[in-house]
Amino acid sequence: MKRTPVLSVAVLLLMTACADEPQKLTGPSARPAMQVSSARASSTVCVAYAKALERAQARVAARPGVVGLLRHVNALSAVITDACR
């Protein structure tokens, strides 16, 4: 007798689950195209590169004859110009 209420609840749940209409499968929603904004200039990556450029420029000023430091400054400047401005 104890099984009758449990069985009836199980049957009731099964019937209601089968009565629902199946959900339509939809494709991926259209995402908006990426937009370039001025927010890139204040991104943390750009700030980090700007600080690194300042440090590299200070090193070049302290040791003006080192070619490797000049290349580093030029590379950082190019990255900042390309990615952040």
pLDDT in tens, 28-46: 665 555 444 554 446 788 8
The Cα-based distances of 37 to 41, 42, 61, 82, 83 in angstroms read 9, 10, 34, 14, 12
Distance of CA 6 to the CA centre of its chain: 49
Amino acid at site 73: V
- In this prediction, residues 8-37 reach a mean pLDDT of 62
Q: Kindly list the domain boundaries of the chain, sorted by start residue.
A: 38-85
Q: What is the mean pLDDT of the chain?
A: 76
Is residue 74 predicted with pLDDT exceeding 90?
yes
Is residue 54 predicted with pLDDT exceeding 90?
yes
Cβ atoms of 52 and 83 within 8 Å: the answer is no
- Categorize the per-residue pLDDT at 66 as very low, low, confident or very high, splitting at 50, 70 and 90: confident
